[in-house]
Amino acid sequence: MNIAHLCLSCFYYDGFSYQENLLVQQNVKDGHNVQVIASTESIDSNGRITFVQKSSYMGGDGALVNRVPYNKLVPKIIQYKIKSYDQVFTLLKDFAPDIIYFHGISAVELLSIKKFKIQYPNVKLILDCHSDKYNSATNFLSKNILHSIIYRTCYQSILPFVDKVFCISLDTMDFAIDFYGTPEEKVEFFPLGGECLEDEEYFDLRTNIRLDLNISESEIMILQTGKINAKKKAIESILQFKKVNNSNLVYVIAGSLEEDVKTEILKLISSDNRIRYLGWVDSVRLKGLLCASDLYLQPGSQSATMQQSICLRNPIILDNVKSHKPFVDGNGWLINNIEDIYRILDSISENSSVLSEMSKKSYQIAINILDYRKLAKKIYSI
């Protein structure tokens, strides 16, 4: 089949391990002809957003990538918010997709997709929703102008032509139904997934990365990743970690430190030689770190890396929110307050054998609901 992935409401960063990358990779592995139509938004080596030129090239995920510019008729000051683009309809017509997978539900460009679906009614159209009440429509203008009037009007216009709306979490399901007015029968839970490795590759990566980091198998490696800002609660987590008096615990941070926390975190790191900051890492390095770690820590706002950590057999500590509940079943902890981190780490430092069993349970959960080999089949069956 010809499958078009449209990353026009969201980003598409070459060489990373986000859903947009891994789903495209899986479609290619499954033998399909895949094309990505994406905005010019990209990311630099320090994890900062940047913009590239209009272009067409073979991407590292195995699919042809077409970077398209914003619609020139839209004033520059609001182009980034409106999300309307040039050439999308023409590119789709030339590609002749059997399936269009539009990542995100908040974009004026949905109107072009509606026009295409009307002209080519046999094309299957899937939208996915990454928006929820925590990350979208969080202030007056965003809620009452951008989402309520602009985005929702475009979305409601295309909704009769949509075959399925995939939602990445339970909170996004609520948002799609309650805020955007999606019929429940069109909505399906479609979590952010990951790559599940066979034993040989997993243990090879684990051994090599731990050797590189000089972390022995007797030590317990705790990993926190991503864009570290105040919402990630890294400062609070480090303070709880420092209370545990055990030299076998190692706290590794991989990601970018935002300005609101950078000074304080660097000060805390310098005060405890068990804490290591690796800076921003690419997807290959991150994959290795996730294999090497014994416990993935995400006590604050949600991160796309969490699902990949489960796929790579990590026990997890997560904030006790609705969207995390499907991923915790004997493989970690849902915490209600930051002090729980000290209690958990102190217990683990006395008896780390519990992590081995939790690791096995994480892998089983991943195989059942997070493996992109299984998730991709839902696309083909629409």
- pLDDT score for 46: 66
CA atoms of 172 and 128, how far apart (whole Å): 9
- Evaluate whether 283 touches 254 at the Cβ level (below 8 Å): no
CATH 3.40.50.2000 residue ranges for the chain: 2-190, 199-370
pLDDT at 47: 65
Contact between 382 and 164 under an 8 Å Cβ cutoff? The reply is yes
Contacts of 198 (CB under 8 A, 6+ apart): none
- 286 is written with which tokens? 């991150």
d(C-alpha 315, C-alpha 167), whole Å: 24
Beta carbons within 10 angstroms of residue 31's beta carbon? 8
Cβ atoms of 142 and 136 within 8 Å: the answer is yes
pTM of the model: 0.88
What per-residue confidence (pLDDT) applies to 45? 65
* Beta bridge pairs of residue 256: 227
Which candidate, 317, 331, 345, places its Cα nearest to that of 239? 345
Picking from 103, 12, 104, the residue whose alpha carbon sits closest to that of residue 64 is: 12
The predicted pLDDT at position 61 comes to 87
Going residue by residue through the chain, which has 382 residues, state the pLDDT in tens, using 9 for 90 and above.
999 999 999 889 887 888 999 999 999 999 999 999 999 988 776 667 888 899 999 998 889 999 999 999 999 899 989 999 999 999 999 999 999 999 999 999 999 999 999 999 999 999 999 999 888 888 888 898 899 999 999 999 999 999 999 999 999 999 999 999 999 999 999 999 999 999 999 999 999 999 999 999 999 999 999 989 999 999 999 999 999 999 999 999 999 999 999 999 999 999 999 999 999 998 899 999 999 999 999 998 878 799 999 999 999 999 999 999 999 999 999 999 999 999 999 999 999 999 999 999 999 999 999 999 999 999 999 9
Contact criterion met (CB below 8 Å) for 38 and 8: yes
The H-or-E segment that residue 125 falls in is: strand 124-129
Q: Could you tell me the fold of the domain covering 2-190?
A: Rossmann fold (3.40.50)
Q: Which CATH class is domain 199-370?
A: alpha beta
Instruction: Identify any residues that bridge with 164 across adjacent strands, giving them in sequence order.
Output: 126
380-to-17, 259, 373 alpha-carbon distances in Å: 21, 43, 11
Alpha helices, DSSP H, located in the chain: 19-29, 76-82, 88-95, 110-119, 140-141, 152-158, 170-174, 199-213, 234-242, 262-270, 283-292, 305-311, 339-350, 353-365, 372-380
- What pLDDT, on a 0 to 100 scale, did the predictor assign at position 94? 97
CA neighbor of 372 nearest in space, from 31, 23, 30:
23
Query: What's the sign of the alpha-carbon dihedral 274, 280, 285, 289?
Result: positive
Q: How far apart are CA 321 and CA 172, in angstroms?
A: 13
Inter-axis angle of helices 353-365 and 339-350, nearest 10: 110
Rounded Cα gap, residues 364 and 315, in angstroms: 12
* Contact indicator for 256, 46 with CB cutoff of 8 Å: yes
Can you name the residues that pair with 101 across neighbouring β-strands?
5, 126
